[in-house]
Amino acid sequence: MTQPAPNGPFQQDAPPAGPPVPGTARTPPVPGTARTPPWRKAAVIVAAGVPVGVLWWLLAPSGMNLLSGNPELRSGGNTEGWLPRDLVLAGLFLLAGCICGAVASGSKHGGPSGRDVLRTVGAGALGALAAWGTGVVCGLWWGTPAEAAAGASTAFSLRSFAVLAIWPGAAALAIFLNTVFTTPQPGSPDMPVPK
């Protein structure tokens, strides 16, 4: 019976020829080329809630209503504008969550750790709260004074608080789908070795 070659039966199993390349798995990284700290991605995700909130107020009914342009939906007292207002925020959260999840999914050579997933989902939840608060503040500052004085039911706000779960949920789903549908590159540490 013949024994397999010590380096394996495939060319990619042979030891690399030439000097080691800095920053690869076989050598330590070069000083001064550190990765960005993980909290920066989370801070960017949370800070993205502010422009999402402003965009919500600009597009939604009883805000600036730039999306539909219907003057009847401009008033917060019109109950027909409440559902579209929440749906505009839900759509923005879905888009933001998918983008955050795709960015946090890691590179094609390695997936995100459990800590990265929790950090992204938590930052998405905080970003959703920041967007909601920003939209409400925009409604108070730039909305008509009669609507804000009439009460909470006519002011620019969110009627369905379950919408706040869409951003972190979409981020988690995007990370999951990226992990499931990406295949590791041949020769990467994630690729199982054939026996």
Mean pLDDT of the chain: 79
Per-residue pLDDT, 76: 67
Domain ranges of the chain: 51-181
Q: Model's pTM, two decimal places?
A: 0.73
For 50-102, the pLDDT digits (tens) are 999 999 999 988 888 888 777 777 776 677 878 889 999 999 999 999 999 99
Q: How far apart are CA 100 and CA 35, in angstroms?
A: 18
Which residue in 80, 59, 77 sits closest to 144, CA to CA? 77
**Average pLDDT over every residue of 148-162:** 73
pLDDT of residue 124: 96
Q: What pLDDT score was predicted for residue 72?
A: 73
Cα angle for residues 168, 131, 170 (degrees, 5° grid):
20
- Written as one letter, the residue type at 111 is G
Contact 158, 89 (CB under 8 A): yes
